[in-house]
A and B are shown apart, each in its own frame.
Chain A
Amino acid sequence: MIQQRSGRRWQSTEAHPAGGHLPSIATSTFLKPTPDVALRTPGLRYADQTGSDPTKEMVGRETRKMNMYQAVRDAIALSKDDTAVVFGEDVAFGGVFRCTMGLAEEFGRERVFNTPLTEQGIAGFGIGLASMGHTAIAEIQFADYIFPAFDQIVNEAAKFRFRSHGNFNVGKLTIRCPSMAVGHGGHYHSQSPEGFFMGAHGIKIVIPRSPIQAKGLLLSSIRDPNPVIFMEPKVLYRSSVEQVPMDDYEIELGKAETLTRGNDLTIVSWGTPVYHCETAMKMLSHPPPSLAPNVPASVRGAKIELIDLRTIMPWDVQTVAESVNRTGRLIVVHEAGRTGGVGAEIGAEIQKRCFLKLNAPVRLVTGWDTPVPMQYEKFYMPDPIRILDAVIETLNY
């Protein structure tokens, strides 16, 4: 195992993705470069943990440098359940994003297998398996192609337990799908459809931001007694790299994580844009000369609280409302288009809970209400400059 040298950012050993690393990810302080920091990741609960204090449980644990696809693969392999099967299009050779590399060899083709190219079939098949109490880990190759399975997910998986009053359930179903933009994905390799599933009561929706998060949240999703859609931001598969604890651990669903503390403004985001928010915060306090005229000195010292929502449904309203009641300002950042998006739901709920504490309108920094456009992506995405601008305007409101 290669230990990381402290004081110096390390580089991924993986090939660079076609879109190139995003500078915000490569330099992010949210990624854990050393075993010590990784093991102290807040919210980790080791499967073999005996006490309630995770810091005492760190002794002797190992970590390994992983990118997100490796962490996903690690989580699947660790599910420790003979009934668990992994299936989808092209998963047997390792998957088009390598998330299932070597699993077929390790667990056999009966447990890791390709399906014909039918998303409604994949979802239906997984529901059938899960209804029999088997752990079904299904993959939809891109979140953009989950829509043929919309009926199976919304009408069947989500309502399975309710309609039979618990006689049957598909709690052991997890549907993984790569999501969000990748720099050059156009309409159908870029989408963030989490908002569409927010109204599918009975489903949970989870989106990780890093390898440590992906592993812990995926293990929780696989073991959660409800069907979970687990959306993996595909640009992070290779670009986000950190030391990941090797043991079996979970990160609780339904809990947001506060990444930076502040009292002046709350930003809520998830997945890839979390890193854009980090960059925007750096630009706010230390604007590069070209942007300095746009960043008034009065806001540069603003303390911003950045929250990674992690679970989209049921989302952690308590953490967000507590934060906004303290800061009086909220910006929600997501890649999906604005109208009917998750930000609208969060905005309405926070407006209700924090009305008397709000000092500025809730601001949404999102994709525009267009399909994700191929050659215009830089102008479509909620990138650091758009977030920075919203931060300045909200602080100056």
Chain B
Amino acid sequence: MPGPGHAHGHLPSSTSPVTSQLHFFNSVTDGGKQIPTYRVIDGAGQPLEGAVVPEIDEALARRIYENMVQLPILDDILYNLQRQGRIVFYMTAYGEEAAIIGSAAALAPDDEVLAQYRESGVLLWRGFGYDNIMNQCFGTYLDSCGMGKQMPVHYGSKELHYHTISSPLATQIPQAAGVGYALKRDPARRGKNCAVVYFGEGAASEGDFHAGMLLASTIPSPTLFIARNNGFAISTPSSEQYYGDGIAARGPGYGVHTIRVDGNDVLAVYSATKEARRLCIEEGRAVLVETMTYRVGHHSTSDDSFAYRPRKEVEDRKRLDNPIVRFRLFMESRGWWSKDEEAALTKRIKQDVMTAYKKAESLPKPELKEMFTEVYGGELPWNLKEQREELKKLVKKYGDSWEPWRNELKKHKGEGKDLLQ
């Protein structure tokens, strides 16, 4: 490369050309411009000039659309269940339907997913089903994710390659690098699968994001990083989260292939994720995708977002750039979707969700003895054995007379008798 510095060679610890020019820079793109946002279809569902619409047949398009549509319906019902006090907590994914389903559709069904908490759409895409959702949120004895041990929305499924969600933010990011490395070392999965890690732009401020990106690039590991930049971390706008060019600008700093995508354009997300996944597996290295969205809903049921952002701003975003509407317009323009189908679909989803909810609500909580299981693998240590005995004695003594326990025992399968045996 010609230039004033080239003649001076470079230092032994780097290949950076030595230059005589005193010059600071502050962008990863030429001329200080921001990283562009990749988009395929516009607000009317029409391909952008020069855009290549990904190869997608009607069946796949319908599957993507139906999966997107189910999210707000499921969210509406569970959100209201929380408002009525029937479940203790919930988090919606309003506004991020395209980012979640578009990426899920581009993955292999057995790619290992490590998510934050707003990505249950990936699980549903893989066939998790509403019963599992409801059993986890209600913490019933049929909760396949964690036997009622975690808060609602902390889903997980070994069969569906979706690692169980935990609340501490960003902890899954360096773990994903390890998962990617394990896939690379496994002859049966090398070159076939990658680890996929989802996180919000707020979580990307954690040290674990730095560690994860660093590890997956330095110890080459097929790990696909998908940042959901929805503008808010609870009340903190992204302007208070970082001063640089979003999350994407950090990728090149770690030597990681990076792309920024319009997260409300499901075709752009699908297309970018598909290519990112191919690169990731082919090169056996980290790839970063930043999806730009807007968190339309509150952070969680414990949050009223109108305390820190105007209601009108949210309403405007919902109306002007709705990822589901955008894709529906695309579908209609292809003759793949109609109003009748829309009505039938929403009706069916509502019915299925309501059926699952009613079933789960009537189910008891797990047996009380489960509280002490799976702390350790192998034999239960003495301290836990003794503490289980201690609780057993106490339940025997006060289970009928201490009202909070008496009421609660009735909700558990076996009403605590399993522990007393």
Contact = CB atoms under 8 A, between A and B. Distances in A.
A binds B: yes
B145 A155 contact: no
14 contacts: A116-B214, A124-B215, A125-B174, A125-B178, A159-B166, A161-B374, A162-B375, A163-B146, A165-B373, A166-B377, A201-B375, A225-B378, A314-B382, A317-B383
B182 A165 contact: no
Contact of B374 (A124, A166, A314): A166
A311 B172 CA distance: 29
A110 interface: yes
A110 B219 CA distance: 9
Nearest to B165: A163
Given A116-B218, A155-B171, A167-B145, 9 more contacts: A87-B219, A121-B210, A124-B177, A124-B178, A128-B180, A132-B186, A152-B171, A155-B166, A225-B378
B207 interface: yes
Nearest to B112: A132
Contacts of A130: 178
A65 interface: no
A121 B377 CA distance: 24
B146 A118 contact: no
B175 A163 contact: no
Interface in A119-138: 120-121, 123-134, 136
Q: Chain B CB within 10 Å — which of A132, A148, A168, A318 has the most?
A: A132
Contacts of A389: none
Nearest to B195: A128
Contacts of A163: 146, 149-150, 154, 164, 166
B66 interface: no
A128 B174 contact: yes
A129 B168 contact: no
Interface in B377-400: 377-378, 381-383
Interface in B143-173: 143-147, 149-150, 154, 156-158, 163-164, 166, 168, 171, 173
Nearest to B218: A116
B374 A165 contact: yes
A267 to B, nearest CB: 22
A156 B195 CA distance: 18
Nearest to A128: B178
Contacts of B163: 131, 168
A151 B203 CA distance: 14
Given A121-B211, A152-B171, A132 B177 contact: no
B215 A118 contact: yes
Nearest to A203: B376
Q: How large is the interface on A (under 10, 10 to 19, 20 to 34, 35 or more residues)?
A: 35 or more
B177 to A, nearest CB: 5
B75 interface: no
B263 interface: no
A128 B182 contact: yes
Given A120-B207, A226-B376, A115 B178 contact: no
B108 to A, nearest CB: 16
A384 interface: no
A318 B182 CA distance: 40
Majority secondary structure, A binding face: mixed
B378 A115 contact: no
A202 B195 contact: no
A115 B377 contact: no
Considering the complex of A and B, which 9 residue pairs feature the smallest CB-CB distances, nearest first?
Answer: A128-B178, A124-B174, A121-B211, A225-B377, A314-B381, A132-B182, A128-B175, A164-B164, A165-B147
A314 B380 CA distance: 10
B219 A131 contact: no
Contacts of B383: 314, 317
B212 interface: yes
Nearest to B175: A128
B91 interface: no
A231 to B, nearest CB: 19
Interface string B346-383: 00000000000000000000000010011111100111
A169 interface: yes
A167 B377 contact: no
A156 B171 contact: yes
B178 A83 contact: no
B185 A121 contact: no
Give the most central of B185, B373, B377, B382: most A CB within 10 Å.
B377
Interface of B: 112, 114, 143-147, 149-150, 154, 156-158, 163-164, 166, 168, 171, 173-183, 185-186, 195, 207-208, 210-212, 214-215, 218-219, 370, 373-378, 381-383
Interface of A: 83, 85, 87, 110, 113, 115-116, 118, 120-121, 123-134, 136, 148, 151-152, 155-156, 159-169, 171, 201-202, 204, 224-226, 254, 314, 317-318
Contact of B214 (A110, A121, A131, A317): A121
B352 to A, nearest CB: 24
A254 B215 CA distance: 34
Contacts of B186: 132
Contacts of A318: 382
Contact of B378 (A126, A156, A226): A226
B375 A156 contact: no
B194 to A, nearest CB: 13
B210 A156 contact: no
A160 B376 CA distance: 10
Nearest to B189: A132
Contacts of A115: 215, 218-219
A128 B176 CA distance: 6
Contacts of B182: 83, 128-129, 132-134
A317 B382 CA distance: 8
A134 B376 CA distance: 18
A213 to B, nearest CB: 21
Most chain A CB within 10 A, of B143, B156, B174, is at B174
A121 B174 contact: yes
Contact of B375 (A134, A136, A161): A161
A161 B157 CA distance: 13
Contacts of B374: 161-162, 165-166
Nearest to B147: A165
A168 B156 contact: yes
A123 B207 CA distance: 13
A174 to B, nearest CB: 14
Contacts of A110: 185
A278 to B, nearest CB: 28
Contacts of B112: 132
A124 B156 contact: no
B135 to A, nearest CB: 12
A161 B377 contact: yes
Given A110-B185, A162-B149, A226-B376, A126 B178 contact: yes
B179 to A, nearest CB: 4
